[in-house]
Amino acid sequence: MNMMTRDNKENRKYLAINAGSSSLKFALYTKGGMLVAEGRWEKETTAFVFKAKGNKDEGHVAFKTHEEAFEYMLKCFVREGVIQNEAEIVKVAHRAVHGGLVFTEPTMITPEVLKQFEGMLDLAPLHNPANLACAKRAVEKMPHAEHYFVFDTAFHSTIPEVNRIYALPYKYYEKGIQVYGFHGISHEDMTVRTAQYLGKPKEEVNLIICHLGNGASITTVKEGKSFDTTMGYTPLDGLTMGTRPGHLDPGVVLKVVEECGSVEEANKVLNKESGLLGISDGTISDMRYLLELEGKGFHRAGLAVKKFVQEVIKACGAAYFQLGGKVDAIVFTGGIGENSKEIVRRVVKDLEPIGIILSKDPNELTTAESKIPVLQLAANEELAMLKQIW
C-alpha cells in the first residue's frame, strides 16, 4: 500500500456504491463535492457507462454478479487515471435498502453489522442481497477504507405511529411488522434541495415527492419530515412498479401463494413478474418502450402505462389531503419522474382540480398561475449518501 498516497489529503476520494436489483451505480467524489468519476452498469442490457475527465465510455459487459461489476469499476478508476490505487479511497457509502428496526442512521460496517444485515435479506429480496454482496466485496478490496451502510428506510423513521401501524393483531407490530418506507435517501435529498429552491427552511416545507422508476414511491413530507409513504413493510407495496405490483388485496396474495404452490415461487411472481412487466407482454417493464408501444396501439402496453399513472394520481391526492391542502411543491424524480415529461404531464393534468394548471406547451409542466409548483429534479443518491458520512 502506498501510504503517501493515502495520507495526502488532496488525493483522498470518497466512493458511493448504489447497488439496485438489476443495476450498479457508482460515483467518486472529493470531500468538497467535486465529481471525479461516475458510471452505471445494467444487468439486463449489459450496458456499462463510465464517465471521467470529461470523457464518456459506453459499451456492453456481461457480468453474472454485482461483485464482478464492482471490481471492473475499480479497474476503470485506475485505468482512466482518476486514482493511482485503491488506497486513495478513504470512505465508501453503500446504499442499503432495508435496515429494519435495527438501523435508523448511517452505520459503519463491521463484521457484526454485516452479520445483522445478512439476517434482513428477506425484507427486501430484490435489493438487500445485492447491497450486502457489494459491501462484502468492497471491504475485501479496500480494507483500509471506512465503509458505511446508508439506509433507505432511515428518513422514514419520523413517520407517526398511526401511519406506521398495520391493522393486524398488535403483537405483529411489536415484532416489527410495520411501515418502514423506502427511497428515503432520495426523498430526503429532494426535501433539502426543494426547500433551498423555494428559499424556505427545510423544517417549514410541505411536499409531495414522487420517486418514480423501476421502483416507485410517493412520500408525504410535513414540516420537512417524512409523514407517510406508499411503500410499507417491504418495497412491494404502494404504486405499480416495473416488476412489482404495489398495493394488493391481501386475499390476492393468499391466492397467488395457493396458485404457486409455495411462498418462494409466489415471492418470485410478486417481485420479478408483476407490475408493468406483468400487465404488458411479460418481457417489457421499461416505461420508454411501453410508451412507444402504446403509441403503436398495443393495448396491454397502454394499459400498463395507464395503471401506473392512475396509481400516482391517487397517491398524490391522498398526500394532498394529508397536508390539508398546504403543499409547497410536488416533486418528481427517479428514472421516470425526472426524465419522462409525458408521464409527469399526464399526472399533472389529472391534478388540476387541486389548483395545478397544466401548460399547453408540451415542453413545460405548469403555468405561472398554478397554485402549486411542479418540479422535475434529477436524483443524485450517490452524493446524498456521501454527505451523510463526511
**Residue 10: pLDDT band with limits 50, 70, 90:** low
pLDDT digits (tens, 9 = 90+) for 260-306: 999 999 999 999 999 999 999 889 999 999 999 999 999 999 999 99
Options 1.20.120.850, 3.40.50.2300, 3.30.420.40, 3.40.50.1220; CATH of 3-151: 3.30.420.40
Backbone dihedral angles phi then psi of residue 125, each to the nearest 5 degrees: -65, -20
The pLDDT value given to residue 88: 95
CA distance 320 to 322: 5
Give the pLDDT of residue 83.
95
Give the C-alpha distances (Å, rounded to integers) separating 316 from 152, 211, 230, 331.
21, 12, 10, 11
2 pLDDT band, cuts 50/70/90, is very low
Q: What pLDDT sits at residue 4?
A: 39
pLDDT tens-digit map of 81-96:
999 999 999 999 999 9
334-359 pLDDT per residue, tens: 999 999 999 999 999 999 999 999 99
Q: Quick one: pLDDT at residue 367? A: 94
Q: Is 312 left (phi over 0), alpha (psi -120 to 50) or beta?
A: alpha
**pLDDT average, residue stretch 185-207:** 97
Average pLDDT across the chain, whole number: 94
Q: Note the pLDDT tens digit of each residue in 44-55.
A: 889 999 999 999
Question: Strands 146-151, 89-96: parallel, antiparallel or unpaired by DSSP?
Answer: parallel
Cell triple for 104: 435508523
- pLDDT exceeds 90 at position 144: yes
pLDDT computed for residue 6 by the predictor: 43
pLDDT at 111 over 80: yes
| 311: enclosing H helix or E strand | helix 299-322
Nearest alpha-carbon partner for 219 in 335, 323, 348: 323
Task: State the pLDDT confidence band at 3, using cuts at 50, 70 and 90.
Answer: very low
pTM as predicted: 0.88
CA 309 – CA 145 distance, rounded (Å): 43
Q: Quick one: what percent of the chain has pLDDT higher than 70?
A: 97
Spatial neighbors of 4 by CB under 8 A, at least 6 apart, are none
For residue 152, indicate whether it is catalytic: yes
Catalytic residue among 7, 122, 152, 361: 152
Domain positions in the chain are 3-151, 199-381
The SS3 assignment for 294 reads helix
Check if 3-151 and 199-381 are the same fold: yes
CA dihedral sign of residues 202, 205, 206, 210: negative
CATH number assigned to the domain covering 199-381: 3.30.420.40
DSSP H helix total and E strand total for the chain: 15, 13
Q: How confident is the model at residue 9 (pLDDT cuts 50, 70, 90)?
A: low
Write out pLDDT tens, residues 209-227: 999 999 999 999 999 999 9
Tell me the average pLDDT across 14-34: 91
pLDDT of 318 strictly over 60: yes
Whether the per-residue pLDDT at 5 is higher than 60: the answer is: no
Which grid cell sits at 354? 387541486
